Amino acid sequence: MNSMLILFIILSLAAVLSALGLLLSRSAVYAALFLVLNFACVAIFYLLLGAPFIALTQITVYAGAIMVLFLFVIMLLGAEKLPKSQSLPWQRPLAIGLAVVLLFEAGFLLFQRLHLTATLAQPEAQINSVDAIRTLGLTLFNQYLLPFEITSILLLVAMVGAIVLTKQEKGAAG
Amino acid sequence: MEGTIPLSYYIAVSAILFTMGALGVLIRRNALIVFMSIELMLNAANLAFVAFARSYGVLTGQIFVFFVITVAAAEVAVGLALIVAIFRSKHSIDVDQMSSLKG
Amino acid sequence: MDFLTNPLNLVIFFPLLGVLALLLMPSGKKDLLRWTAFLASLLTFGISIWVLTLFKSTDANLQLGLNIPWIQVAGWNINYATGVDGLSILLVLLTAFLSPISILSTWTAVEERVKDFMIFFLLLEVGMMGVFLAQDLFLFYIFWEFTLVPMYFLIGIWGGPQRIYAAVKFFLYTMAGSILMLIAVLWLGINQNSFSVPDLIARSGSIPADIQMWLFLAFAAAFAIKVPMWPLHSWLPDAHVQAPTAGSVILAGVLLKMGTYGFLRFNLPLFPQAAIKAAPWMAGLAVIGIIYGALVSYSQKDVKKLVAYSSVSHLGFVMLGLFALNPMGIQGGILQMINHGLSTGALFLLVGMIYERRHTREMDAFGGLWKVMPVYATLMLIVSLSSMGLPGLNGFVGEFTILLGAFGSQAIGSPWFAGVAAVGVILAAIYILYMFQKMFLGPLDKEENKKLKDLNWREIATLVPLLVFIFWIGLYPKPFFALMAPAVDNLVKIIQTASLALH
Amino acid sequence: MENSGLFFNLVPLIVFLPTVGLLINIIFGGRMSEKAIGTVASAASGLAFIVSLLLGYSLLASGSEAHVVPFAEWIKIGNLDIPWNFRVDTLSVTMMLVVSGVGTLIHIYAIGYMHEDVRFKDDVKRYGRFFVFLNLFIAMMMILVSGDSYLMLFVGWEGVGLCSFLLIGFWFEMDTLARPSWANSNAAKKAFIANRVGDFGFLLAAFTMFWYFGSLQFSEVFLKAEEVAASQPGVIMVITLFMLIGVTGKSAQIPLYVWLPDAMAGPTPVSALIHAATMVTAGVYLVTRSWALFSLVPDAQYVVALVGAITALFAATIAVGQYDIKKVLAYSTISQLGFMVAAVGMGAYVAGMFHLIAHAFFKALLFLSAGSIILGMERGHHHLANHGHADEHHEEVFDPGDMRNMGGLRKQMPVTFWLYMIGSLALAGIFPFAGFWSKDEILLDAAKNYSVVYVLLTIAAFLTAFYMGRQIWMVFFGKSRHAAAEHAQESPKVITVPLMVLAGASILGGALNLPYLHSLGQWLEHTIELAAEHGEEIRGYLSISWGGLNPVVALVSTLLALLAIGLSWLLYGRKPLQVGQIDPLKKMLGPLYTAFEKKYWVDEIYGALIINRYVDLARFLAEKVDWNFWHDWLHDSVIARFFRWFTKFLANPIDLGIIDAISNGLATLTKRSSTALRQLQNGFVRSYALSVLLGAVLILGYLLFK
């Protein structure tokens, strides 16, 4: 039992529990906060895995931008509590059953079939340095230039789309 | 701080998070929470990507995650806009209210 | 560019330009539509005259044509092959000549859906030109079937009270024969590895005699229905009586010729041995048609029907001439195709003119019209005389050469055929004079007829060109014979070679 | 050529002058006066006569040998070569002279005649049309006689048939008594169709000729005639007999003569020109022209001669029983044509042609005089109508041509009377009129070799004199039997002057071929080789008459003619016919006379045996066979019904029962399962997501545990 593993287990527990919180919380605001916690845990995982750039992106984009957006929308629409629904009585048990099966399958796959023997060591110092980020940047702007540029268009389209969708039509009843 | 963590642990965490996300999509009726669950599933996938990238020592995994995050951002923007639009006409964010495409 | 500036392609496809122009015009402006269609067909006629000037009448081969690979998949050797020779040049000219005349005749006769009418008419012209100019069996077949469609609509939309019946009958009847031809075409294309007519003629010797006969019969089925040969003529009176005037003119003037032309272009040179063997039978049917058509014409009460049945008789002469298989008979036959187109076309025009005035075609409703419509009567007289073969007019030259050719034809084998056919000359006089008497002579005793107006200038203008040719061919047929002579000699040579091989 | 000073090259003008005339009248006729129209037409014909005279002079000056003047190519296919050449020889020039000469006189006569006729019939505008047709006829007749080949001859042959049709049907909307009727147009149609039957024979003769001689040109055919006769004896027989059919049609012989009496429906000048003087003699011309063929087949010649002789007698008997002045002349024409045909049949070509010419003169004279009489009667009738005497005649239709209405016209129409007398005597064959000489020659030739023909012709000659006598007595002597006859008026000069010219020709015509001089014989000798040259080489009865004058024959015929006239005087002259009296001959002959009167019911027999059968056959074919059976039954019922039944069969048991059942079953299945499955499509996004997860789980499970 080394310290890394202990850290890992703690983080894993935090992540899973925050996910569970998301799943169970009645209020959307709590759910959003649990999700932020989850994202933070995952960001630390990234650091452990030697991917500092991704970790920072995770924090800024997800926790910073996306979740703030969520909270704004929640505030806009009101965090109403939904009445209990009778529409899909079998949905919940079926979903849980399937989830259990899925988990079982994943476990089976992971431990009986894949035989992943690799172990991931603590990242070296230079990995978490500016050089590594530069390498990532160079790869991104050389090898993946086109996808990168396409992403910009995607974002532009999404932005325009969001504006169009939320724009109040003149004369339309609110 | 020496010691290693087996790759399979990361994947297992990823799998658990993914299943939770999926459950959230299936069980919750609040459109916002459903959406959040989707984000959770994306995160789970990202985690697996990064873990494998570390395991194989290549950068492609990280770059893919980068793209996923970008797409997720776009998706959230459009998705939330949709939810707002739907709320305007239905005055609800219950996904079960959106069943006019019933066969 | 070669393809577009080829004179034959211009002749075939020029009317399409007219169609295009018509499509862009509002359907309410009837006169504009009429003038456009008229102009398009007139220009087509002009192009056909240009083709005539390019045509070398001393050359027996196909001329001015194109031969472009077209459908060359899966071993099919289909070309876009066109060409004109002595066998077809006159028919091309006839088609181009009759089209503007027919359009002119619709000026007041067609008032509804003028645009559609003109479009169908020009499409029909495209089809007919294609039939006469295609030198690839596959291409020919496409044009052949294509002509059915516009004609079907011309009869079915602008026809008489029973137009749908007539149109469907026309369509089905012709289609039934064409199917057999299609089979034969495919057989030839597969076994001879070519659809090109000149190639197939060159290879015709390689087909075994019994298969030649089957192929001959398959082609003959399509053509005999179109001609129509007795006893396959039943669609003709329906189609003619129900069709609008312009449709009848084209039907009699050109569409029927497609059948005789088919015999001439395909049956004779492609299957010469079978043609020789079949000659007495075909001649027999032709003679029956001559007599039968003339007899049945006499008993008609409707002028248009009378003229329709007279076509059976006249086309019998053409068939008799073609199957005489000697230069006189064939040249006479070709000329008679033209003659019939002119005379019967003119007769249908004339009948249409009286129909427009009186809205009936029953001969009993007329009588003594010469008194009120002298110009009409005179023109009708000339055309009738041409139709019954009076010397000095076109009909005689054709009939005489046909009968003369058939009388001594070796292929037919007996002068009796021509002898009996010559009775048709008497019978023609009987039914035509009967018609003329019933309409124009006798007392003018019907009130409705007393105020009839004589022909106006437009109507005279539609008829005068036809009359010019009626006289021209009758008095000086030499240029017409000169156009076809080398090609016919060539054809006769092919048949003679086959006949030598046969014995 | 040495012909440079001669006029052979003018020969196309004989066709084109009349053509120009008719074109002028067509184009400008509407704006010209009647006089001008008539003058143009007459001038066209007259100029053609002058050209014919020039041609005759040219022939005389150049040794009378045949000249062929090429004009145009017509039909040329392979070895068939038919140019339009003009043949100028003594025979054709003779015909040209007759046609244009008599034709011109009749044109002039018609100026006056038609002037009145169109007014009696109330359609003045038709005046010009008559002269157009008349000129057309002259042109066609000229083509006929000047053609160089059988086909060109045929062109004219058919052309004159057309003119005959047009002119018989000139008053197409009435009958001969100007009542509205189909009669005239029927007569016109009948003439054309009867002629067409003859043409059919002609055509077959031409076909046979072409395939055995290789040509239709006269010169080539005649050149090869003996050769072909030697190798193929039957062929010439066939050709000549087919030609005979043509002759019987055009020259109105048995059995196709029936059209000629009806053809009198045409205006009188037409009857004179076409149906007496010129067109109907085309058959005689044809036989004469084909002498080289006929001379080779004596059997055919004999048939021709017999047909002619029988027709001569047969028609003469009918003429005896007629009351219409023109009908008598019509049957007389048939009879005289019989004389000519018999003559050329016997090989007496010169005699035949001689009679043709003489007959053209006197029969034209007679017809035109009859026309003058009819006009006189019409004038009388109109005079009555205008002066209010017509009350008692108001109801009945007046027939100006019926001899029973006439009588005593000698006083009212003296000029016409004398002209008619001359014509009648010439026709009856009284010395020294033209008819005497020409008929005598025929009888003489018949007496030599053909006793049967001789007897038949002699009886016919006797009857001829009798019916002409009867006519004279009935028309000109006695008292008027009708008020119109009392008021009949003489015709104007324009009508009588041409008649006088013809009368002169009828008197002097005999001089053309007087016995022992034989000027016509010598003239024609250049075209027709005479027996004398051939000597005994040619078999049979070729015997062109050098006849001389056999006193016995001449005496017998003259005496018989006088006897006949005397007999007619006994019956009709001594006691003139009274109004309503039955013909005295009828009392004597009884049913036989009725047979004459009714024309032996030939029209009725033809009608019953041929025409009605033809109509029935045509109707049967058209209505029963073609329409009811072929069109309605076979096509519309059998084929269409079978097709419908078959489609129904396919539709009902086959398609509905089997194929449709399968597809219907499939459809039902689909419907049911989809009804079930649509429950899944409940619109809830979450349940769709559940399905996705289910799918993912299942696929993963499959991959894992397969």
Between the alpha carbon of residue D363 and those of residues D146, D174, D427, D434, the distances in Å are: 23, 26, 7, 11
pLDDT, position D389: 55
The predicted pLDDT at position D331 comes to 92
Separation of CA C422 from chain center: 22
- Percentage of chain D surpassing pLDDT 70? 94
Contact, D254 vs D160, CB < 8 A? Answer: no
Residue D1 banded pLDDT, cuts 50, 70, 90: very low
For residues D408 and D474, the answer to whether their CB atoms sit within 8 Å is no
Q: Which long-range contacts (CB under 8 A, 24 or more apart) does D592-599 make?
A: D593/D320, D593/D321, D594/D321, D595/D321, D596/D317, D596/D318, D596/D320, D596/D321, D596/D322, D597/D321, D597/D322, D598/D321, D599/D261, D599/D318, D599/D321
What pLDDT is stored for residue D538 in this prediction? 39
Q: What is the dihedral angle through the alpha carbons of C344, C347, C353, C358, rounded to the nearest 10 degrees?
A: -120
- Say how far apart CA C128 and CA C66 lie, in whole Å: 18
Residue whose C-alpha is closest to residue D568's, from D555, D585, D590, D586: D585
Q: Is C80 helix (H, G, I), strand (E, B) or coil?
A: strand
Q: What is the pLDDT of residues D2-35, one digit of tens each?
A: 455 678 888 889 999 999 999 999 888 888 888 8
Find the range with the poorest average confidence among C404-413, C473-482, D556-565, D581-590: D581-590
Cα nearest neighbour of D690 on chain B: B26
The beta-carbon neighbor of B1 closest among A3, A62, A166 is: A3
Under 8 Å CB pairs connecting chains B and D tally to 34
pLDDT tens, chain C, 503 aa long: 577 788 888 889 999 999 999 998 888 888 899 999 999 999 999 999 999 999 888 888 888 888 888 888 777 888 888 999 889 999 999 999 999 999 988 888 888 888 899 999 999 999 999 999 999 999 999 999 999 999 999 998 888 888 888 888 888 888 888 889 999 999 888 888 888 888 888 888 888 888 889 999 999 999 999 988 888 888 888 888 888 888 899 999 899 999 999 999 999 999 988 999 999 999 999 999 999 999 999 988 899 999 999 999 999 999 999 999 999 999 999 999 999 999 999 999 999 999 888 888 888 888 888 988 989 999 999 999 999 889 889 999 999 999 999 998 888 888 899 999 999 989 999 999 999 998 999 888 888 888 888 888 989 998 999 999 999 999 889 889 989 999 999 999 988 888 888 77
Q: Is the peptide bond before D255 cis (omega within 30 degrees of 0)?
A: yes
Q: What share of chain B is helix, strand, coil (3-state, %, to 5)?
A: 80, 5, 15
Is there a contact between C344 and C248 (Cβ–Cβ < 8 Å)?
no
Q: Would you say C300 and D627 are in contact if contact means Cβ atoms under 8 Å apart?
A: no
Mind listing the pLDDT tens digit of every residue in chain A (174 residues)? Answer: 577 888 889 999 999 999 999 888 888 888 889 999 999 999 998 888 888 888 888 888 888 888 888 888 888 887 566 666 666 777 888 888 989 998 988 888 888 877 777 777 766 655 666 777 888 888 888 888 998 999 999 999 999 988 888 887 665 544
State which H helix or E strand residue D110 sits in. helix D90-120
User: What is the reported pLDDT for C315?
Assistant: 93
* Domains present along chain B, CATH in parentheses: 7-94 (1.10.287.3510)
Q: What is the mean pLDDT of residues D664-682?
A: 80
How far is Cα C382 from Cα C377, in angstroms, rounded to an integer?
A: 9
CB contact under 8 A, A105 and D700: yes
Per-residue pLDDT reduced to its tens digit, A28-52? 888 889 999 999 999 998 888 888 8
Q: Which of residues 64-83 of B touch A (CB under 8 A)?
A: 65-67, 69-78, 80-83
Reported confidence tier of residue D537, pLDDT bands at 50, 70, 90: very low
Distance of alpha carbon A126 from alpha carbon C157, whole angstroms: 89
pTM of the model: 0.77
Report domain extents, chain D: 348-386+398-597
State how far the alpha carbon of A48 is from the alpha carbons of A40, B7, C310, in Å.
13, 12, 105
Query: Are the C-beta atoms of residues C76 and C189 closer than 8 Å to each other?
Result: yes
pLDDT reported for residue D543: 42
Cβ proximity of D435 and D429 under 8 Å: yes
Q: Residue B19 and residue A106: Cβ atoms within 8 Å?
A: yes
Residue D686 has its nearest CB partner, among A88, A98, A113, at A88
Region D284-308: what's the mean pLDDT? 89
What band does D535 get if pLDDT is binned at 50, 70 and 90?
very low
How far apart, in whole angstroms, are the C-alpha atoms of residue D696 and residue D690? 10
User: DSSP per residue over C289-348, as a string?
Assistant: HHHHHHHHHHT-SBHHHHHHHHHHHHHHHHHHHHTT-SHHHHHHHHHHHHHHHHHHHHHH
Q: Which of D320, D535, D524, D526 is nearest to D441 (CA)?
A: D524
The rounded distance, in Å, linking the Cα atoms of C94 and C394 is 14
Q: Report phi then psi at C207, rounded to 5.
A: -85, 130
- At residue D542 the predicted structure's pLDDT band, cuts being 50, 70 and 90, is very low
Give the pLDDT mean for D69-95. Answer: 87
The answer to whether B100 contacts D683, with C-beta atoms less than 8 Å apart, is yes
pLDDT at res. D549: 61
Query: What is the pairing mode between strands B4-6 and C78-81?
Result: unpaired
pLDDT at site A129: 67
Instruction: Please list every residue in chain D whose beta carbon sits closer than 8 Å to the beta carbon of residue C486.
Output: none
Angle, alpha carbons A109-A111-A112 (nearest 5°): 70
**pLDDT of D531 strictly over 50:** no
D77, D155, D172: residue with CB nearest C370: D172
Q: Which residue has the tokens 């169109």?
A: D118
C-beta separation of C396 from C278 below 8 A: no
Q: Is B50 on the interface with A (CB under 8 A)?
A: yes
Query: Does D694 touch chain A if contact means CB atoms closer than 8 Å?
Result: yes
A102 to D693: CB separation less than 8 angstroms, yes or no? yes
Q: How far apart are CA D308 and CA D316, in angstroms?
A: 12
- Res. D666: pLDDT tops 50: yes
Interface test mutation site (partner B, options A7, A91, A119, A142, max chain B beta carbons within 10 A)? A119
What pLDDT does residue D534 have?
Answer: 40
Count the residues in chain D: 706
Which of D678, D681, D685 lies at the smallest CB-CB distance from B95? D685
pLDDT tens, D316-339? 999 988 888 899 999 999 999 999
Distance from the A139 Cα atom to the nearest Cα atom in chain D, whole angstroms: 34
Give ∠ CA C458-C464-C469 in degrees, rounded to 5.
150
Strands (DSSP E) found in D415-537:
none
User: Within a 10 A sphere around the Cβ of C162, how many other Cβ atoms?
Assistant: 13
Reading the block at residue D203, the tokens are: 């055509």
Q: Residue D520 — very low, low, confident or very high, per pLDDT cuts 50/70/90?
A: confident
pLDDT of residue C90: 92
Among the partner-chain residues D684, D697, D700, the one whose CB lies closest to the CB of A87 is D684
Residue D461 to residues B94, C89, D595, Cα–Cα distance (Å)? 131, 62, 20
Q: How does the average pLDDT of chain D come out, rounded?
A: 85
Q: How far is B25 from chain D (nearest CA, A)?
A: 7
Instruction: Collapse the DSSP code of C192 into the 3-class scheme (helix H, G, I; strand E, B; otherwise coil) and give the result.
Output: coil
Is D684 in Cβ contact with A98 (below 8 Å)? Answer: no
Query: For D481-492, what is the mean pLDDT?
Result: 83
Q: Hey, are the CB atoms on D682 and B22 less than 8 Å from each other?
A: no
**Tell me, what's the pLDDT at A170?**
61
What is d(CA D361, CA A151) in angstroms, rounded to the nearest whole number? 119
Query: B 22-41 residues with CB below 8 A of A?
Result: 22-24, 26-30, 32-33, 35-37, 39-40
- Structure ipTM: 0.67
